[in-house]
Structure 1
């Protein structure tokens, strides 16, 4: 599914903390500072502000605060003693949301330069430093933090507060090496939503010695960044049908499509054409035409997945592209419903209420999508209101994190989250809600093997169960 139209605007600013001696260690590209500076030049960064060694942690944090207040776009803060894949930095700097996020790795080997964090549902809910503990850590922070434009004021306030605490000795023996770690702690404890950008097989490590610098650079060469970029272009948390019957081979179309300079929106257009041809074949009403229609519908869905994969691979994004993709999905599905209804009438010579079934299936899908979008909008609105009015949820002076944020989970939510940990139950959970992959597979198979009446009855039965499941889940989450 496409997310794109044009490349992200290059308005991100970078604050490069060259405040440790390790930043001046050497590598093939000069110093580590030179290396990271050269990498930032290849990414959508407007300017790089280098903070040299100064009067201490407080001064460094005040420099970050000043830059955050003057910036008109996202600000990424990172240390100059970093050895990382360029693709790892791009996980934050080229993400379409341009939101607040941090690079993390799912390991539990916390160390002074790898502070512990707790990640839940793609969000960092607790972060640590030498002063702040995370009892239930399941990942480590790797030193790269980005603040979205909406959170720049909060970042500046936190940096100034931390600077004051550091100068007065209230944070204990913290040092300039922990500046980024402390900023992450502050953002998380202030209730800011911090996206966890996971490294996967990529590397991003802070360096303390020449030996570790040489070893880290050698490790970078062991990973094929191009292959990783291709792999991460394919959704890792997609539905069962999309994962095993589409993405397992559509990934091999991404590079050819990129070489042909096809845009994601062009692929979306081809997908629409396939769906219209599918509807035309369905409208013939013969068994052969039903099979042909089902095959074309499957290929249309393949292209529907490919446009999003191509968007992520080429990193060309825009809200218009996402809107076009969503509207195209609804149009394709409903035009196929019409084709099926016409074909059933043509094949039997008797409508037998088929149009009522088609209309009911359309209405059910509209209601289901309304539930999803209205809930997502309500969550976004409440998040904005909370960010504007809520006080920090935890004091920066608390040395122990105290566990998870929020109220205890309810039974239904605990069950759903337990299901997420097992691959079989995770896919069953995804299939229950009848996502677009399973829905189009259901249409294609039932139309090719049976007829449109069976297709619509199947959509109404499965879709009804899915609607009840979605409503129950939304109510449970809303009552947390």
Structure 2
């Protein structure tokens, strides 16, 4: 069995540090901004740091990135030497165990010369800009750190070479060498590569152009408690209403004790499953007190279901296997709770209602996950076989949505509407609350009827949304 250092190196990211930006040589403490970045990278899971030195302008810089991407055997991150950032901000991308393709972004949409606008939807960067590429309805800004996962290295190299050719022939307008990483992000997004938006939250990651700006950026770092931010960001920012306000408000305080006790996320998932099984046993008793006890246990089971994800994000130990096990656990928990409620009811038609509620649940998940899988497959096929769907020479991104999607985008800016959209699809938090409340206050028949009504509305809503997006 390989030792931990071997495993760490095999999954680590290689970094291309762009020393081609003049501001990288600005003073910072006892060294320069480049020195500061090097010290930070030494504390992160980075296999190697390759310094790209100035020598031939933007085209040469991009070809240098392409050359390194062609020979790399793992994820490659491109970082400009003029970046001033919290170590934790870099870790959001570089310590992610998936080592996938992603870009460091801030939801502060105030764009500037060294913070180009982007549009983020569903945790992905769907449109990216530069001084040449325009982003309509931008809702975030790119903060200079771009990582290409191993499977996207060929796409990164192709994009870098194409951009280098366009830059050398003057077809990209008045772009400057400091925009190399911005252009690479534009190219990856426009060629169909899925780029995860790694949000920095209240952390700082700013590119600077002068000594005063560098000094101000370094001073601003001290105003943020990185440890507190790491704890806060372990709680999902885009979670459902019930999970956000009735679980995460207190479950976050269990994260650090769990870490000290060396409790793993998978252990928490197992305990959550056990509590759901006990809830089903109490529901099967068929008494009011049994349903009340079952509702409480079901709520605690869901709270631990939230905690396992929070713990995984805090420790950055999540994995595809863990995510799959968590999802399967959720489905089985609902199934055994339905069975427990049906066993505890004297209504002869209850099994028909339970089966119908389960069918509606399966249909909802099929609508949701089959669409996501098809979209991911289409993106992979497009990146591997097709030419870029949009030319990198276009100065403006003119993609338009259908009337339904335009209306949805406008409404999404309102907080109340955003929460209503989350609630109407009946996510697992709302389903848990619906089951617990209706079972404790009424009976199993009321629970299944409520699930059928709300689940039916959710299925129709999701189907309409998927059809509208597919028609775009």
Smaller-chain TM-score range?
Answer: over 0.9
Q: Does 1:194 align with 2:156?
A: no
Q: Give 1:252's aligned residue.
A: 253
Partner residue, 2:403: 410
- Mapped to 1, the partners of 2:168 and 2:408 lie a distance apart of 46
Pair 1:473-2:465 in alignment: yes
Rounded to whole Å, the distance in 2 between the matches of 1:332 and 1:121 is 27
Determine the C-alpha separation between the residues in 2 that align with 1:314 and 1:193: 25
Q: Decide whether the 8 Å contact of 1:43 with 1:93 is kept in 2.
A: yes
SS in 1 for 2:130: coil
CA apart distance, 1:118 = 3.4
Q: Which residue of 2 aligns with 1:348?
A: none
The corresponding residue for 1:366 is 362
Q: C-alpha displacement at 1:440, in angstroms?
A: 1.0
Whole-Å separation in 2 of the counterparts to 1:168 and 1:464: 57
Partners in 2 of 1:317 and 1:8 — Cα distance? 18
Note the 1:10-49 alignment, pairs <5 A: 10-28=11-29, 30-49=31-50
More deviation, 92-101/318-327? 92-101
Q: Mark the runs of 5 or more structure 2 residues left unpaired by the alignment.
A: 1-6
Q: Distance in 2 between matches of 1:133 and 1:276?
A: 53
Q: Indicate how the Cα distance of structure 1 residues 284 and 136 shifts in structure 2: closer, same or farther if over 3 A, else same.
A: closer
Does the 8 Å CA contact 2:402/2:468 hold for their aligned counterparts? no
Count of paired positions: 466
Distance 1:82 1:333, change over 3 A: same
* 1:150 correspondence with 2:142: no
> 1:376 aligned to 2:372?
yes
- More displaced 10-residue stretch of structure 1: 128-137 or 88-97: 128-137
Report what 2:287 is aligned to: 286
Whether 1:451 aligns to 2:443 is: yes
Q: 1:54 to 1:369 in 2, by over 3 A?
A: same
Report what 2:222 is aligned to.
221
| Contact 1:85-1:204 at 8 Å conserved across structures | yes
Partner Cα separation in structure 2 for residue 134 and residue 366 of structure 1:
38
Aligned-residue CA RMSD (Å): 2.1
Q: Which has the higher contact order (CA 8 A, sep 6+)?
A: 1
CA distance in 1: counterparts of 2:132 and 2:72, whole angstroms: 29
Distance in structure 2 (CA, Å) of the matches to 1:131 and 1:414: 25
CA, structure 1 residues 358+130, in 2 after alignment: closer, same or farther (shift >3 Å)? closer
SS of the equivalent of 1:13 reads: strand
The secondary structure found in structure 2 opposite 1:344 is coil
CA distance in 1, matches of 2:246, 2:111: 39
Question: Structure 1 residues 417, 176: closer, same or farther in 2, change over 3 A?
Answer: closer
Structure 1 match to 2:62: 61
Name 2:339's counterpart in structure 1. Answer: 338
Residues 17 and 337 of structure 1: CA distance in aligned 2, closer, same or farther (over 3 Å): same
Which residue number in structure 2 is paired with residue 185 of structure 1?
A: 186
Gaps of 5+ in 1: 1-5, 346-350
Distance in 2, matches of 1:299 and 1:478, equals: 38
